[in-house]
Each structure stands twice: as C-alpha cells, then as structure tokens.
C-alpha cells in the first residue's frame, strides 16, 4: 500500500475547501431534485468534468448525534442503504482516519459496485460540526469492484437558532464514479442517492 499522507495539512486543506464551497452564492446552483426531506442542487465541479452537488435539509436531532451517524464509525453501515462494507484502515486521532468502503450497484446495476479509500476528518464549525473527506489513490482494488474517487466532500451540521433540537444539514458531494458510464446515469444516481440519504438518516435517528 502506498504511504498515507501527513494528516494535518490534508485536514486543513480539506476544511478550507469545504468552507469555500459553503460560501458559494445561491445563483451559481441549479436545482437537481426536491423531496420532502431535502433539496439537491448542482454546479460544474472545479475538480473534474462532473458536478459538485449540494444537498440541504432540516433534521430533527442534535448535531453531535447526526454527525455520529454520518462519519466513519459503527452507525453508518447500519442505516446507509448504499454502503455495503466499511473498514477503518488507520486512525490518526479520534476525529481523523483513513477508511475503505464499498457501495452497492445502482440503476439496475448500470452502475456496478464501487470501492473507495477515503481520508476522513471531523472538526467544529460555528456552533456545529463539519465532517469531510477526500479519496486517496492507495491500496489494491478488490475483485468485482470499480475504484471510485471522491473529490473534496463533506457535511456541515449546525443547530437551528430558534430550535436547537433541530439541525440544518448541508452536504457537498463530488464523486467521480469512473468506468464507462453515461453522464445522465451518473446525474440521476447522484441526485437520488443524496435525497435518499436524508430519508434513510431520519429513519435511523428515530430508532
């Protein structure tokens, strides 16, 4: 396996990138999907030829519990219908690790199962938390999987000022699925996946 990067500068760069995404004006986004749980927007990515997606919705729970369900750990695999396995490969400190995870096939297996190796970092942001990640090109790809690549992505979770028991959850995702895929299939899958993420998360938090 390739040597892992120094976590401190990577974490700092990742956080700064996500904060920059979070400041992009509303006029630059185009609505891709709306459900009762979330709205998904997109804009051309600066990192690759696909899109940067933004998802946002209010979740009825406190920020710490929500982020514990999103970041690498025991909860995520239980509720995320897209994720089929997760292994923590190395932990640098409590809020910083490298993980390998796999995802199920999508769109009647037009999109085959994917594997990712991601650096993950969770830190404070305003009155809440930011959990973010970026893929690393390291390790061998498992048989029957295509190695995907997550460009800088993350989730901001902050309590609503007038209702601290509710949180505003905003995600930025730009996944390069790789492989020979029609862009329209990727766009459909990404928008639906992000909308389903909110409904699945809400169900998990109620249990």
pLDDT at 1 over 60: no
List, in order of start, the domains of the chain with CATH numbers: 7-21+32-206 (3.30.530.20)
Q: What share of the chain is helix, strand, coil (3-state, %, to 5)?
A: 25, 45, 30
169 contacts 198 by C-beta, under 8 angstroms: yes
pLDDT tens column, 80-125: 988 999 999 999 887 999 999 999 887 666 778 899 999 999 999 9
100 in helix, strand or coil?
strand
124 contacts 130 by C-beta, under 8 angstroms: yes
Q: What stretches of the chain adopt beta strand conformation (E)?
A: 30-34, 39-44, 51-59, 83-93, 96-103, 114-125, 128-135, 146-147, 149-160, 163-176
Model pLDDT, residue 97: 94
Could you tell me which residue, 3 or 193, shows the higher pLDDT?
193
- 207: confidence class by pLDDT, cuts 50, 70, 90: confident
pLDDT tens column, 5-59: 788 999 999 999 999 999 999 999 999 999 999 999 999 999 999 999 999 999 9
Return the structure tokens found at 114: 């994917």
Return the structure tokens found at 203: 């169900």
pTM: predicted TM-score of the whole model, two decimal places: 0.93
Write phi, then psi, for 36 (nearest 5 degrees): -70, -20
Percent of the chain with pLDDT over 90: 73
pLDDT at 205 over 70: yes
18 contacts 156 by C-beta, under 8 angstroms: yes
Could you tell me which residue, 186 or 192, shows the higher pLDDT?
192
């Amino acid at each position: 396996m390739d040597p892992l990067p120094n976590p401190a500068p990577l974490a700092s760069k990742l956080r700064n990138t996500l904060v920059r995404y979070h400041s992009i004006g509303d006029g630059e986004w185009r609505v891709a999907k709306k459900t009762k749980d979330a709205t998904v927007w997109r804009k051309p990515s600066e990192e690759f030829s696909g899109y940067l997606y933004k998802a946002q919705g209010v979740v009825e729970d406190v920020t710490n519990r929500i982020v514990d369900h999103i970041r690498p750990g025991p909860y995520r695999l239980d509720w995320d219908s897209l994720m089929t396995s997760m292994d923590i490969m190395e932990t640098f400190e409590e809020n910083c690790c490298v993980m390998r995870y796999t995802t199920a096939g999508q769109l009647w297996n037009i999109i085959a199962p994917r594997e990712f190796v991601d650096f993950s970092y969770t830190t404070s942001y305003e009155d809440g938390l930011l959990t973010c990640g970026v893929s690393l090109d390291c390790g061998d790809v498992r048989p029957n999987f295509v190695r995907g690549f997550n460009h800088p992505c993350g989730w901001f979770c902050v309590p609503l000022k007038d209702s601290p028991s509710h949180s505003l959850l905003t995600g930025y995702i730009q996944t390069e699925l790789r492989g020979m895929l029609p862009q329209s299939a990727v766009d459909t899958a990404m928008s639906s996946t992000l909308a389903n993420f909110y409904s699945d998360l809400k169900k998990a938090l109620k249990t």
